[in-house]
Amino acid sequence: MIRRVLLFFSVNVAVMMVLSVLLALLGVRGEGLMGLAILCGVFGFGGSFISLQISRWSAKRAMGIALIDPNTPRPGMEAQLVQRVRALSQKAGLPKLPEIGVYRSPEVNAFATGPSSSRSLVAVSTGLLERMDDDAVEGVLGHEISHIANGDMVTMALLQGVVNTFVMFVARIIAGIIDNFLRGNDERGGGLGFFGYFIVVNVLQGVLFILAMPIIGAFSRWREFRADAGSARLAGAPTMIHALESLARNTGHFDKNDAALATFKIQGGVRGLLGKLSATHPPIPDRIQALRQRQAN
């Protein structure tokens, strides 16, 4: 857990430094509404897309993922995993076989990440391999391959960039209004001051991001339904339904400490604060019902 926190912190510091240098080179100072909009856009979209570009690297280090060499997998589980991912990837029309890895965890989960369909990673937990049968694993892998084929990581980065930009921009506009109001009512012209402005901006960003969470959650839930449908096409609807039923029996086995990757996993819990509105995954019974309706039609 400490390693994950340190990695998250160091990556974010590095991203901020890179973007700060870029802004300095471009001569952007954030003066005026246009300058502020550009500043927020660079940090909002820049941070999101840099995170996307290093998503495989950071996921492998945060989760301790052991990669499988697809050319020389060990007989048994590794060979079967490579065979399934290769077959599903070819069926989905991916230009390149994703990296395949396993991470040690009792959680019953899997995820896909990466900046493009030719630079992707599919990782499964040891808990999933131990608790699920072959058909259920097939359905889960089909779901993750569908995420890659659909370009879901890129669209999530775009959405996150829009939200980040909006939150940063509006927070600074509101903080500026508060600062001007205080200056107008203070004979000494004190206003918020540097530290007061910094605190107000960060509080406002936190509040605005919480208010934006239902937008991110709604899109994330929609893409989960779409990935389920994709797996139904690749592996068969009965296989994907069986996989979801297996997940439903193991809903208590997922790692709540990996919030940064929760959006990309096949199974996710309901987060606090805004509860169901901000959940990244639909309830499993709803996902099963959606597949059965598609099957009936």
| Domain end point (choices 103, 123, 149) | 149
- 178 and 132 in one domain? no
Residue 163 backbone zone (phi > 0: left; psi -120 to 50: alpha; other: beta)? alpha
Return phi, psi of residue 123, to 5°.
-125, 140
Q: Is residue 28 part of a domain?
A: no
The catalytic residue among 138, 144, 224, 245 is: 144
- 267 and 179 in one domain? yes
- 122 and 81 in one domain? yes
DSSP classification of residue 265: B
Quote the CA–CA distance of 276 and 111 in Å, as a whole number.
21
Number of H helices and number of E strands within the chain?
A: 11, 4
Q: Is residue 43 part of a domain?
A: no
| Domain end point (choices 149, 177, 204) | 149
Q: Is residue 90 part of a domain?
A: yes
Q: What is the pTM of this model?
A: 0.83
DSSP H helices in 29-76: 32-53, 55-63
pLDDT of residue 265: 65
Q: What domain range is 202 assigned to?
A: 153-296
- 187 and 167 in one domain? yes
Residues ≥6 apart with Cβ < 8 Å to 250: 108, 127, 131, 132, 267
In the annotation, is 31 catalytic?
Answer: no
The CATH number for 138's domain is: 3.30.2010.10
| Domain end point (choices 102, 121, 149) | 149
Q: Is residue 52 part of a domain?
A: no
Cα 227 from chain centre: 14
Quote the CA–CA distance of 290 and 296 in Å, as a whole number.
10
- 291 and 209 in one domain? yes
pLDDT of residue 41: 85
pLDDT of residue 250: 81
User: Where in the chain does DSSP place strands (E)?
Assistant: 66-67, 99-103, 110-116, 119-125
- 224 and 176 in one domain? yes
Quote the CA–CA distance of 249 and 207 in Å, as a whole number.
35
Q: Is residue 41 part of a domain?
A: no
DSSP classification of residue 148: H
- 134 and 171 in one domain? no
- 193 and 140 in one domain? no
- 165 and 141 in one domain? no
Q: How many CB atoms lie within 10 A of CB 188?
A: 6
Both tokens of 296, joined, read 């009936």
- 145 and 171 in one domain? no
Q: Is residue 132 part of a domain?
A: yes
In the chain, the number of structural domains is 2
- 288 and 212 in one domain? yes
Quote the CA–CA distance of 165 and 91 in Å, as a whole number.
37
Q: Is residue 254 part of a domain?
A: yes
- 237 and 159 in one domain? yes
pLDDT of residue 176: 87
Q: What is the mean pLDDT of each run of 10 residues along the chain (297 residues)?
A: 50 57 58 78 86 91 93 93 97 96 92 94 94 95 96 91 90 88 65 81 90 89 95 96 92 56 58 63 92 85
Q: Is residue 79 part of a domain?
A: yes
